[in-house]
Amino acid sequence: MAAPIDTLVTVYGGSGFLGRHVIRALAKRDYRIRVGVRRPELAGHLQPLGRVGQIMPVQANIRYPDSVRAAARGASIVVNLCGILAQSGAQSFDAVQNKGAATVAKAATDIGARIVHVSAIGADEDSKSRYARTKAAGEKAVRAADRNAIIMRPSVVFGPEDQFTNRFAALARLLPALPLIGGDTKMQPVYVGDVATAVADAVDGKLKAGSTYELGGPEVMTMREIVKLILAITGRNRLLVPLPFALANLKAMVLQFAPGDFKLTPDQVELLKSDNVVSDKAKLAGLTLEGLGIQPDSLEAIAPSYLWRFRKTGQFAQKRA
């Protein structure tokens, strides 16, 4: 569906993992896209996703309302993708996912723009996880600003640039055994391209105003099943060592300061105690990918297309019969 001529969409958090796929999906539908990011000079990878002049990164920090308002000016639709998996300095869960969401929602309502807000399955104001509590608080702030806003809650999102499947594949390349936390916890991994399509449909106005959609993949898998699949795809034979949550918490107290793929926070351990799947309520109401007419892609079908780089011989590895 082509966008009405000259329709401007402002996307906050558009330079991240999900953001680049949302930008690509919107560009294909002929929207003009303004991308609000903290460091526009580091967002040059977005512009080739569209035509010359179609995508314009601008400076916007959701902790500073004036910059958010400036980025929203003239937009017909505002999309908020801002979220973090771990806190760092001023980038706290509350600042980004609660107060930041409120700031974006107010900027949108001040100019009469429609709002599409991406949250997460598991958002719960009563959760012991700060991540989940602030996601719920952000949803509440968006609803308070605009009752017609569309909220999307994806399960764990996978894709070429994710910090989920790539992390396990990287650790399997380095370690002889992998610690398994929450091995029986259920998840519904959803492909980033399917989430981006759903967001673009929301921008098109195809979704029910004021609704909350839950986005999950075609299969519910345990954490153990997911890790085993990643090992099979990358051709790594690794021992899985189950870690009780109490021991995992102690480990996270240290690893929260670790760099890169070794980083693990107590809040992430807390999240792994709860299942992360689409609710029966959302299924019955048709507020899912299938309800939108989107056939979700499975982890098994998509992951080999980018995890091949973690095999011993990369793309030249041959599967044994």
Task: Reply yes or no on whether the pLDDT at 20 is more than 60.
Answer: yes
Which tokens hold the place of 44?
A: 């040059």
Residue linked to tokens 């959803």: 190
pLDDT band at 64 (very low <50, low <70, confident <90, very high): very high
Q: Please tell me the predicted confidence (pLDDT) of residue 261.
A: 78
Q: What's the pLDDT tens digit per position in 141-178? A: 999 999 999 999 999 999 999 999 999 999 999 999 99
Q: Could you give the domains of the chain?
A: 8-157+191-216+277-296 (3.40.50.720)
CB count in 10 Å sphere of residue 281: 10
The answer for residues whose C-beta is within 8 angstroms of residue 48's C-beta and 6 or more apart is: none
C-alpha pair distances (Å), 45 with each of 41, 164, 260: 10, 22, 22
* Residue type, position 139, single letter: E
Q: What is the pTM of this model?
A: 0.94
Averaged pLDDT, 215-230 = 98
DSSP conformational letter for 88: B
CB count in 10 Å sphere of residue 154: 27
pLDDT band at 130 (very low <50, low <70, confident <90, very high): very high
Q: Please tell me the predicted confidence (pLDDT) of residue 217.
A: 98
Beta-ladder partners of 35: 11, 57
**Spatial separation of the C-alpha atoms in residues 80 and 116, rounded to whole Å:** 6
Which tokens hold the place of 39?
A: 């460091």
Q: What's the pLDDT tens digit per position in 245-268? A: 999 999 999 989 888 878 899 999
Residue linked to tokens 């967002």: 43
Task: Reply yes or no on whether the pLDDT at 3 is more than 90.
Answer: no
Give the end-to-end CA distance of the chain in Å, rounded to a whole number. Answer: 44
